[in-house]
Amino acid sequence: MKKSADPELEMKPGDFRRWRKSLKLSQKEAAEALGLKRRVVQYYEKGERDGEAVTIPKYIRLACSALASGIPDYSGPARERSGE
């Protein structure tokens, strides 16, 4: 998987697991909330798949942040009202 530009910003496997535990989510619940399969959550927590390193993508890190902030979904910016 592709590495992020700044390794300091990379979410480590332990960080991902702590995020999930902090929200009191099972692996299955975390997968559903992120739109992933449970097995992918397991790869992220282990940091590898079939002996190869797995990097947690930026969009997953951002989704984790949104969920931790109480934002369960996003449908885009607010639409302007007509006539204003």
User: What is the pTM for the complete model shown?
Assistant: 0.81
Q: Is residue 4 part of a domain?
A: no
Instruction: For 69-78, write each residue's pLDDT tens digit.
Output: 999 999 999 8
pLDDT at 1: 47
Q: Is residue 81 part of a domain?
A: no
Mean pLDDT of 20-38: 98
> Please, are residues 64 and 19 in contact by the beta-carbon 8 Å criterion?
yes
Instruction: For 30-46, write each residue's pLDDT tens digit.
Output: 999 999 999 999 999 99
Q: Is residue 41 part of a domain?
A: yes
Assign residue 46 the CATH number of its domain.
1.10.260.40
pLDDT at 5: 56
Q: Is residue 79 part of a domain?
A: no
- The total of structural domains in the chain comes to 1
Answer left, alpha or beta for residue 80, where phi above 0 means left and psi between -120 and 50 means alpha: beta
Outline where 1-84 has alpha helix (H): 13-22, 27-34, 38-46, 58-68
Q: Is residue 74 part of a domain?
A: no
Q: Is residue 58 part of a domain?
A: yes
Query: Can you give the residue range of the structural domain that contains 34?
Result: 9-68
